[in-house]
Amino acid sequence: MNLYPLKFEPIYKKRIWGGQKLREVFNKDIPPFEKIGESWELADLPDDKSVIANGELTSQTLNSAIKKYPEEITGDKNFSGHFPLLIKFIDAEDILSVQVHPDSQTCRRMGKGNPKTECWYVISAVPGAVIYKGLKKGVTREEFSKAIKKGSVAELLEKVPVETGQCHFLPAGTAHSIGAGLLIAEIQTPSDTTYRVFDWNRVDDTGKARPLHIEEALESINFNAAGSNFPITTVGRLVDCEYFKIDKGHQAKGCETLLSPGKMKTLIILTGSGEILGDDEVSVEFRVGDCLLVPAAYEGAMQFADDTQYLIVSL
């Protein structure tokens, strides 16, 4: 069959800190009045697998499609396990917990968990919005452990003001928190291993505090990496790490850009709309909030009906 850009059914996640911005900004069909914090746009984890929502492959999972058409979809990439990316939209109406994700060495040392490196692209931010990104220079494990007991962890983290259009890279081992009032596109390695060290003393709807994972977090934090050294990018190549590359595109209404074959890529539509038209004259429409996987064998062109900003994720 002629492969085409794949769209997926979002997987919604209720979170204590979530809101309704995914409906308001992207017109996502989320449950009204519920705190929906995450929309998983592209996922291939054991309990969460993206389902294709368009074309001949509708209702098949991403995993099954790749097994049927491995070279056509992935090109020269040989995925022996799960798809190597997890892409989300995050609606942080309230602040997230202070947390950390382990790296590969830590997972092997502890004998559990999956490594996670991520980045955040800020889609929108209320005035005064901040994130906490990495430790202040010189913070030791002993100091951090004492701060956990005192409830003063945030004082040891780099508090960074954020604006729309910024991209923040967070390698595994970085203690962090997303502040309130932020809508973010998160691109990461495929892991849901999260170790919380502080949750701002809040409780859930049942009056219970969420569990903390202090021992695992202390083992996972990279105390040699200061958050002040982590870059902030806004244009062009936003991220270039061993796991993924992210570029930002911006096209005006009426423009066109070619999608050349040879490399699989994922498109995250931040603003605007348009269509992708292939050599077979079959079109795939896109709009703000869409995430499309373009197979390596596909050749076509993006045509923009509106001024459009988008992210291009490749391996």
Cα torsion for 159, 244, 217, 183, to the nearest 10°? 40
Concerning whether 237 is annotated as a catalytic residue, the answer is no
Q: Which residues in the chain show pLDDT less than 70?
A: 80-81
Write down the pLDDT at residue 288.
98
Domains of the chain: 6-234 (2.60.120.10), 245-314 (2.60.120.10)
Q: Round to whole Å and give the CA distance between 248 and 267.
A: 10
Q: Which two tokens stand for residue 26?
A: 């992207």
Write down the pLDDT at residue 72.
93
Residue pair 25/124 in contact by the 8 Å Cβ criterion: yes
Write down the pTM of the prediction.
Answer: 0.96
Identified catalytic residue from 141, 196, 202, 210: 196
Cβ burial 167-198 (10 Å sphere, 16+ → b, else e): bbbbbbbbbbbbbebbbbbbbbbbbbbbbbbb
Write down the pLDDT at residue 221.
98
Q: What is the pLDDT of residues 172-195, one digit of tens each?
A: 999 999 999 999 999 999 999 999
